[in-house]
């Protein structure tokens, strides 16, 4: 099936097709990373002090943190490798497809996740994470290809907003399955049926992700060249990263932005990945049913508020500039970390969730579009976005490893929040070195 002709850069239809991949893939971070899977994993390991894995005993949240960090090591290594090949053969859409199908099938494989099959379960968790994040390398690199510079802030915000809406719709369906499994013919005791429903939700994520990706695949351009992959081009991606690293000296604003992005993204992505585990362990819920509903409702609240947050940040950047807006958002995040350190009750957790939603989508969307404006105007956008993604992934490796270590040693996730607080403040300070007028709208 060939892409429809006539969709030129800047066309609304092409931008919508690109943004529709956010609709497709955002069910993974919402259902798998943030809600249903963390709840399922917590219930599965409830009453188990430690989980044996690779000859060591781990606290359950520390184990998932370390496995997540290791998956990002693979992503950080493979992204430049594969993007280099994709650049050479001019078909990044093919590689995007490979990771989409790897991720979606692995989500379905999480149906078999049990403590008795912990190695197989963690393998599928590992592959799903790799599929999602690796696909974003190619997806993000399309932004300057499909939108004009003045369109990129709002195109990026549109993608995140579509993702929030689509993922919320599927989560509501999954929530109805978990709370009312008998509606769907899921049998067993109340707890058994709910656990089965959670497992079925993993399958729905895989189907949704693969199915709704097809619209983006149909319209996104294939590439500009064609060629064969040989051993001589396998390491081309790393050579491209080295080339980008050397080019940074010619782009002083970009050179200042990337360290700031690395610092605050380390905190941001780690917070997003561990938020539900924090709510499950550190908040004083009355009973397990209130905990399940409360955790899912809080994540829904984050997603819904984030839709408005993404657009509010885009409008703020238009009025006050990208850098000033990012500085303020980082300081708001720092304030949320202070608040989160002291929260105990479900109500306080909901308030924190609303605050997180307001700034979560905005900082992600604006960071992506700001970087898109800073990179040189070239056909080779994948290499620069590969560098961006590797920067983000290395930050996640560092963040999750630090979080897991603090959690394992102290036995409390709450102590790690102070680590995030320092990173957000440092991110704001580093951003403040960049002249606001250096980013053109």
Q: What is the DSSP string of 287-342?
A: SHHHHHHHHHHHHHHHHHHHHHHHHHHHHHHHHH-HHHHHHHHHHHHHHHHHHHHH
- Give the chain's radius of gyration (CA, Å): 21
Contact 126, 70 (CB under 8 A): yes
Report the Cα–Cα distance between both ends of the chain, in Å, rounded: 36
* Burial class of residue 163 in the structure, from the number of CB atoms within 10 Å of its CB (0-12 exposed, 13-18 middle, 19+ buried): buried
For residue 241, the SS3 value is helix
* Secondary structure letter of residue 33 according to DSSP: I
pLDDT tens for the chain, residues 1 to 441: 344 455 776 677 888 888 889 899 989 988 888 788 888 888 887 766 677 777 777 777 778 888 888 888 888 887 777 766 666 656 778 888 999 999 999 999 999 998 888 889 899 999 999 999 888 878 877 777 777 767 776 777 777 678 778 888 898 899 889 888 889 888 888 788 888 999 999 999 999 999 999 988 888 877 555 555 555 556 666 777 777 788 788 888 888 889 999 999 998 888 877 777 788 778 888 877 788 888 888 888 887 787 788 778 878 888 888 888 899 999 999 999 899 889 889 889 888 888 888 887 778 778 878 888 888 776 566 677 778 878 888 888 888 888 888 877 877 778 888 888 999 999 999 998 887 665 655
Domains annotated for the chain, with CATH where assigned, are: 12-438 (1.20.1250.20)
Residues ≥6 apart with Cβ < 8 Å to 215:
17, 20, 24
Closest C-alpha among 2, 416, 25 to residue 208 = 25
Closest C-alpha among 25, 1, 290 to residue 132 = 25
What percent of the residues of the chain are helix, what percent strand, and what percent coil, each to the nearest 5?
80, 0, 20
d(CA 131, CA 104): 8
């Amino acid at each position: 099936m060939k892409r429809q002709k006539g969709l030129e850069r800047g066309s609304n239809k092409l931008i919508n097709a690109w943004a529709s991949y956010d609709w497709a893939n955002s069910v993974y971070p919402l259902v798998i990373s943030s809600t249903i899977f963390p709840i399922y994993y917590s219930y599965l390991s409830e009453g188990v002090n430690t989980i044996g894995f690779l000859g060591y005993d781990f606290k359950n949240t520390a184990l998932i943190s370390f496995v997540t960090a290791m998956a990002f090591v693979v992503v950080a290594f493979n992204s430049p490798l594969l993007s280099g090949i994709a650049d050479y053969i001019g078909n990044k859409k093919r590689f995007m497809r490979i990771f989409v199908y790897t991720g979606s099938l692995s989500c379905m494989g999480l149906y078999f996740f049990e403590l008795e099959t912990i190695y197989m379960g963690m393998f599928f968790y590992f592959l799903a994470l790799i599929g999602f994040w690796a696909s974003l390398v190619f997806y993000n690199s399309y932004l300057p290809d499909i939108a004009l510079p003045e369109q990129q802030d709002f195109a990026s915000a549109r993608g995140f907003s579509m993702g929030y809406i689509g993922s919320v719709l599927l989560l509501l369906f999954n929530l109805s399955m978990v709370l009312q499994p008998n509606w769907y013919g899921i049998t067993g005791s109340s707890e058994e049926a709910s656990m089965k429903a959670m497992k079925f939700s993993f399958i729905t994520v895989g189907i949704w992700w693969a199915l709704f990706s097809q619209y983006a695949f149909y319209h996104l351009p294939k590439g500009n060249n064609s060629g064969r992959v040989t051993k001589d081009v396998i390491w081309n991606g790393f050579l491209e990263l080295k080339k980008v690293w050397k080019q940074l000296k010619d782009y002083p604003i970009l050179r200042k932005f990337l360290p700031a992005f690395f610092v605050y993204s380390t905190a941001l992505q780690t917070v997003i990945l561990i938020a539900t585990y924090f709510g499950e362990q550190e908040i004083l819920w009355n009973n397990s049913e209130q905990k399940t509903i409360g955790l899912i409702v809080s994540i829904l609240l984050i997603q819904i508020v984030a839709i408005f947050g993404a657009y509010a940040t885009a409008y703020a950047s238009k009025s006050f500039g990208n850098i000033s807006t990012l500085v303020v958002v980082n300081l708001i995040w720092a304030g949320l970390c202070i608040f989160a350190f002291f929260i105990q009750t479900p109500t306080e957790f909901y308030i924190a969730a609303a605050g997180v939603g307001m700034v979560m989508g905005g900082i992600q969307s604006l960071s992506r579009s700001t970087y898109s404006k800073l990179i040189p105007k070239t056909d080779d956008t994948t290499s620069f976005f590969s560098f961006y993604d590797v920067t983000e992934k290395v930050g996640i490796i560092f963040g999750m490893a630090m979080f897991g270590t603090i959690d394992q040693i102290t036995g409390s996730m709450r102590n790690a929040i102070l680590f995030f607080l320092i990173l957000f403040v440092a991110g704001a300070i580093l951003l403040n070195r960049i002249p606001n007028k250096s980013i053109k709208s």
